[in-house]
Amino acid sequence: MKAWWHILLYPLGWLYATIIYIRNMLYDAKILTSQTVDIPTICIGNVAVGGTGKTPQTEDILRMLQGRYKTAVLSRGYKRKSEGFQLADENATVYTIGDEMMQVHSKFAEVPVAVCKDRIEGIKLLREAYPDLQCVILDDAFQHRQLTCGFNIVLTTYDNLFPDDKMLPYGTLRDSRNQVHRADVIIVTKCPQNLTSIERRMIQNKLEIYPYQHIFFSYIDNQELDLSGTPLVVTGIAQPHYLLQQVQKKYPQAELLAFADHHFFDEKDIDLIAKNSEKFACIVTTEKDYVRLKATNIAEKINKPIFVTPIQVGFFEGHEELEKLVIQYINTALKRKKK
């Protein structure tokens, strides 16, 4: 028998679903208007909240485009402390542009990175700052229908596929499942590395993708860390168990100290990390967490090595096809713009 509070989430989910349905219906009927921009736009998003792997996939697309096009990245800058449009520079911090964009900025220093809640205004200001801009990657903008992006990539995780999920707050869906029809590409992320071709076909059938859509399967390609001993895994991400499982393959005694997603660490948190790390040889954390930890005095309070595990996405097959689709879209959009 479900707990009473669990049962109460059903009507709340129904109410939220109704609101989202009406909103999408108004956009589909052109009662609410969605704008386009005359520059190629690639949206990397999802229909669920948190933890589908948008930032690693954004970095993957950036690597495809390096040396080919002048590309910028635009995000809302979730949980940042600043307001309005912010362009990353040498003074950027997690507080001004958020942890995800700070991670991207630190790894792709030559790429313009900006945050703005209003994506249309953000693109306008990016183009003013960079007149030679040829493409904008929008991180987490699929559900923001004020802007119609030219190429949409939707992510869904292997262990929580969108057909199996339910609307908030009962599930994690923040948008209707049927909105996935707007996607050009669907990527099933965080798959086990031993996923078979038969299992991939079964998932593809379950997702019921349309003939014009392309589906790919990816996994987390963590680099194996050579640590000084058993680590304490410290995270503030949506799904920390993926990292813990990876670390425990080599260090089975590793333990997890988890904070909320996008958590900004304070003095008490650092004290807690210091206390919990006493019996461990070192600390392991993610790139996204490290940019937030660096903003604290952790180095002064914790006399332990801190190892950062870079997260990249690996593809079972078809990565070259994905790259071809992205390049083809950009080239076609740029040619159309010249006419």
Lowest mean per-residue pLDDT among 18-32, 37-51, 102-116, 214-228: 214-228
Calculate the average pLDDT of the chain: 93
pLDDT for the residue 337: 79
Among residues 316, 193, 306, 188, which one has the least CA distance to residue 249?
193
Average of per-residue pLDDT across 166-173: 88
pLDDT for the residue 127: 97
pLDDT for 89 beyond 50: yes
Sign of the torsion formed by the C-alpha atoms of 315, 316, 317 and 322 = negative
pTM confidence score: 0.93
Pick the more confident residue, 181 or 7: 181
Residue 10, class by beta-carbon neighbours within 10 Å (0-12 exposed, 13-18 middle, 19+ buried)? middle
* Class level of CATH domain 41-69+134-221+315-338: alpha beta
Do domains 41-69+134-221+315-338 and 231-310 share one topology? The answer is yes
CB contact at 8 A, 170 and 10: yes
* Domains of the chain by residue range: 41-69+134-221+315-338, 231-310
Helix (H/G/I), strand (E/B), else coil: 169: coil
What type of residue sits at position 9?
L
pLDDT for the residue 51: 84
pLDDT for 67 beyond 50: yes
pLDDT in tens, 245-262: 989 999 999 999 999 999
So what's the architecture of 231-310 in CATH?
3-Layer(aba) Sandwich (3.40)
Instruction: Report the 10 Å Cβ neighbour count for 70.
Output: 14
Distances (CA, A) of 285 to 115, 224, 234, 292, 309: 24, 13, 5, 11, 6
CB contact at 8 A, 34 and 27: yes
Percent of the chain with pLDDT over 90: 82
pLDDT for the residue 110: 96
pLDDT for 195 beyond 90: yes
CB contact at 8 A, 133 and 118: no
Average of per-residue pLDDT across 191-216: 96
Pick the more confident residue, 295 or 130: 130
CB contact at 8 A, 95 and 56: no
Lowest mean per-residue pLDDT among 26-40, 86-100, 148-162, 294-308: 294-308
Helix boundaries (H) for the chain: 4-28, 54-65, 94-97, 99-107, 119-129, 197-207, 241-248, 267-276, 287-293, 298-301, 319-338
Among residues 94, 101, 87, 93, which one has the least CA distance to residue 54?
101
Bridge partners (DSSP) of residue 135 are 71
